[in-house]
Structure 1
Amino acid sequence: IQSAASKSIRPFRSSEEYLEAMKEDLAEWFNTLYDLDIQVDTFLESLETGCHLCRHANNVNRTALDFQERHPEAAARMRVPQNEVVFQAKNVVPGSFIARDNVSNFIQWCRQDLGIQDVLMFETNDLVLKKNEKNFVLCLLEVARRGSKFGMLAPMLIQMEEEIEEEMRDQMAEGALGTRRESRDPRAGAYPGRARPITLCDLKNLDELVREILGCCSCPSQFPMVKVSEGKYKVGDSNTLIFVRVLRSHVMVRVGGGWDTLEHYLDKHDPCRCAAL
C-alpha cells in the first residue's frame, strides 16, 4: 500500500482524488469482467462509444434473470431488469450519432429498468463531451451496486460497502440479542448466489495511514480522530462515527451513501485545514 500521506494537502488534488479513486476501481472492475485494458487516464474515452456500457447492461439482464429463476422469492422483492439494450458494436466512431445513440440507450435502461434516481444519472453529453464526469462515475457505481445484488462481481468500493453494512447489521443484532453472533460469510443470506469478491480490503496498515494523514496538521490542538475498532473511528468534537477503508493508494471514508477520500473529508471538516484552503 502506497502511503496517501506522502501527497501534499492541496485543494485541487484533495477535491478530485475521490473521483480518481472511483475511476481506478471501475476500470479494474470492467477489465476483470470483460478482459479489457481500460486505463484511468482515458477512462471516459474508453467508454464514450457506449458499446461496453450496453454490453454490460445486457450482461446484468442475463444475470438478473438467472437470479430470478434460482431465487424467485428474493427476486420478488427486487427490481429485476429485463429489456435488452439494442446497440451498434462495430466501427463506432466516438462522438458520432451511433455512439450517442448507444449511450442514450444505456441511459434509458438505467432509468427505466434499474430505476436509478436522477441525482445519480448522467446525460449523453456528460459522457460524449465530458461535461459531467462525476455523475457518470456515480451512475456506473450504482449500476455495479444493483448488479452485485444479483450475484455479479462488484468493484472494491461496493464490496467494502457490503462489508460495512454487514458489520452494522451484526452490531444491531448483538445489541438486540445481548450476545455476539458467530462469524459467518458476509454474503450469506442477504443476496443468495452473489459472486465472490476479488479481494476485500486489508485493514492491517489502515490505522498507520490514518495517523500519517492526520500528522500533516501541525496544530497544537489536532483534529480529534479516535480509533474505535478496525476501520472505525470517531471524529470531531461531536464524535461522529465513520468507517474508513484502504482502496489501493487511497484512504477512503464512507460518507452517507457514498465515499470520499480521508484527505478531502478532513479538508471539509477540520477547521485548521478549512482555514488553510
Structure 2
Amino acid sequence: MSGIQHASNQSIKPFKSGEEYLYAMKEDLAEWLGDLYNIDIDVNNILEMLETGALLCAHANNVTRVADDFLKRSGPSEIQMPASGVTFISSAHPTTFLARDNVTNFINWCRKEMSIPDVLMFETDDLVLRKNEKNFVLCLLEVARRASRFGMASPVLIQLEQEIEEEIREEMEDLPAQPKPQKRLINIQNLDEMVLH
C-alpha cells in the first residue's frame, strides 16, 4: 500500500483520546522546561517536579525578567507584559502549605501579570492533588504562548501554532481584495404586504 493510500485510511485526528493528547502536551512541556532550565524532567515526572510550585514561580520570575529586557530593547509595547515577579519558598515540600502557597502565588501571577483568562486557569488542587491535570497543562501552555511574544523560547506546540498562523496570514494577504456587497434598502411597506398575503 502506498504512503498516500495508507495516510488516507488513517484518521485525520492524530490522537484517539483526550488522554493521549494530554500526554503529548505534557511531554512537550517537559522537554521545553528541561531545555529552558537545564533540569532532568520528563513526561513521567513533570507533575512531581512542579507540584511544590517552586519551579513555576521561578519560571514566572524568568518570564518577568525576559519581558523587562524586551521592554528595554524595544520600548513600550501593546502586548500585556508582566511587571512584577513572584515570591516563593524554594524549599517547599510536596502537598505542604508552603507548596500550596507557591502554586497559589503562581496562579495569582498568571491572572494579574499575564492576564490569563479564567477559562485557561487551574486551581491549586489541580496540580497539588492532581485533580485536573488538563487545566494545569493548558494554563502553562498559555503562559508559554504569551511569553513567546516577547522573545522567550516556547514549546514545540506553540512554535507550530505560530507557524500555522503565519502561513494563514500570508495566504490571506495574497488573496485579492473582495468587494464588499452593497446593502439594499428594504421597503418595509412591501414586506408587510408580502407577510399579509
Same fold judged by TM-score > 0.5?
A: yes
Within 2, Cα distance between the matches of 1:135 and 1:113?
A: 19
Q: CA RMSD in A?
A: 2.0
- Alignment equivalent of 1:62, drawn from 62, 65, 74: 65
Q: What aligned pairs does 1:168-179 form with structure 2 within 5 A after superposition?
A: 168-176=168-176
1:205-224 residue CA offsets vs partner (Å, 9 max, x unmatched): xxxxxxxxxxxxxxxxxxxx
Over 3 Å counting, the alpha-carbon distance change for 1:66 and 1:46 in structure 2 is same
Would you tell me which structure has more helix in proportion to its own residues? 2
Cross-structure match for 1:157: 157
1:62-91 residue CA offsets vs partner (Å, 9 max, x unmatched): 100111111124x2x11110112000112x
Cross-structure match for 2:100: 100
* Deviation of the 1:13 alpha carbon: 5.8
Within 2, Cα distance between the matches of 1:106 and 1:176?
A: 46
Over 3 Å counting, the alpha-carbon distance change for 1:38 and 1:127 in structure 2 is same
Within 2, Cα distance between the matches of 1:152 and 1:67?
A: 9
Count how many residue pairs are aligned between Structure 1 and Structure 2: 166
Cross-structure match for 1:134: 134
Q: Which has the larger radius of gyration?
A: 2
Report the TM-score when normalising by structure 2: 0.80
Identical pairs, percent: 60
Report the TM-score when normalising by structure 1: 0.57
1:87-120 residue CA offsets vs partner (Å, 9 max, x unmatched): 0112x21000100000000000000000100110
Moved over 4 A (4+): none
Cross-structure match for 2:26: 23
- Alignment equivalent of 1:45, drawn from 44, 48, 57: 48
* Deviation of the 1:38 alpha carbon: 1.1
Within 2, Cα distance between the matches of 1:56 and 1:71?
A: 22
Within 2, Cα distance between the matches of 1:104 and 1:125?
A: 10
Within 2, Cα distance between the matches of 1:33 and 1:104?
A: 23
Q: Unpaired segments of 5 or more residues in structure 2?
A: 1-14, 178-197
Q: Unpaired segments of 5 or more residues in structure 1?
A: 1-11, 178-277
